[in-house]
Amino acid sequence: MYAISLGDDGAELRPLESWHAEEFLAHLDRGREHIGRYITFGSQATDVESARALLTGHADKRTADNGGLHGIWLDGKLVGGVLFCTFDAVNGTCEVGCWLEPAATGRGLITRAITVLIDWAVEVRGIHRVEWHAASGNVPSVNTARRLGMTRDAVMRETHLHRGVRHDMEVWSVLAPEWRTARGHRDDH
């Protein structure tokens, strides 16, 4: 399989497949409380079988062309990941998301990995609008949207119930022409 370098620090973006279930579960266990503060991603993966089922479900989404999941490895260790939560090539829209264990925060890994996903979505698949959804209280996630050059489109008040608390959700987006301009790509689509 392929690995995409995310810089000079040994970070790589790779497909996260069902055969990574044990490594994926160990990674989730290292960061479960941190990852689960604002999102439910990975919470249902409590043993190798359920971790494999989660990874297989995302592989099925990739096969159906409506999602995708990639892991971030740092010096050969799985530390987080990025995904297409939704992917609608017909309508030219997608939503990207992420998660990261605490030991890997503050290195720009998510920004670099999401940049790879958005580049591919816009330049290869012709996606016009890329969205990012984040709980307002999730400051690192909101800051990532800003670093990516996204625009905050809306704050949906108390729309997300997580762990018994209602959170405001922010919707951020970047349009293909904006992305290309920021990245210095030609806009010939």
Domains and CATH numbers, the chain: 1-102 (3.40.630.30), 129-183 (no CATH)
**In this model, does residue 88 exceed pLDDT 90?**
yes
Q: How far apart are CA 179 and CA 189, in angstroms?
A: 12
Q: Are the beta carbons of 132 and 165 closer than 8 angstroms? A: no
**In this model, does residue 187 exceed pLDDT 70?**
no
**In this model, does residue 189 exceed pLDDT 60?**
no
pTM: 0.90
- Local structure of 188: helix, strand or coil: coil
Q: How far apart are CA 78 and CA 55, in angstroms?
A: 14
Could you give the percent of the chain with pLDDT greater than 90? 62
Q: How far apart are CA 166 and CA 42, in angstroms?
A: 20
Going by pLDDT thresholds of 50, 70 and 90, the confidence category of residue 49 is very high
